[in-house]
Amino acid sequence: MESGFSALAQWTVCEKLRVLRESLPNERQLAFLHRIDDVLFSHGGLADVFVRLYVPASFFNVEDAAVETINGLGPNVMWQDLSPIWFRPQSGGEKLFRPNNLLQVVGHTPVERLERKGNLISCDVFSTYRSGRPIGTQEFLLLDTVTWEFEGAR
């Protein structure tokens, strides 16, 4: 699959993130990971090995403490393939963090339709090919964070 990266869009993305950061009542709302009930939301996904590398062992089984620790990491740590920004769990090479306890919802990897595999929901159905043609269905994910039931909405 071809990349959707655009050097021309890089400035726009950085500028919009600055505007977003300045408009939020609490800067902590702009985080790498968000947890609602037992659902973890991130751009790329949270790999078990990443948590083991950067979260103290005493926090490993406490999801909120692990999330808080990771949200405090800097750009040097977060700019690697296994970080929650760039990880691609769909490849199946790495185990997800707490797979029996947490559902993870991720974007980053374009998919044709909303899909759940085990404890992972992939929802990047808005990406496009370089030509502008959509890769996916362009549906919004509607997820019940308690039951983990979901559907797509146009």
Distance CA(46)–CA(106), nearest Å, equals 9
Query: In which element (H, E) is residue 124 found?
Result: strand 120-124
Q: How far apart are CA 28 and CA 24, in angstroms?
A: 9
Please list the rounded mean pLDDT of every run of 10 residues in the chain (154 residues). 59 73 69 94 96 92 91 89 93 91 95 96 93 93 97 93
Helix (H) / strand (E) containing 23: helix 7-23
Q: Where are the domains of the chain?
A: 31-153
45-67: pLDDT as tens digits: 999 999 999 999 988 888 899 99
What is residue 1's predicted lDDT score, i.e. its pLDDT? 47
What per-residue confidence (pLDDT) applies to 13?
66
CB 108 within 8 A of CB 44: yes
Whole-model pTM: value is 0.83
User: How far apart, in whole angstroms, are the C-alpha atoms of residue 80 and residue 27?
Assistant: 23
Euclidean distance between CA atoms 39 and 87, whole angstroms: 17
* Distance of alpha carbon 42 from alpha carbon 45, whole angstroms: 5
Q: What's residue 12's pLDDT? A: 75
Quick check: helix, strand or coil at residue 70?
helix
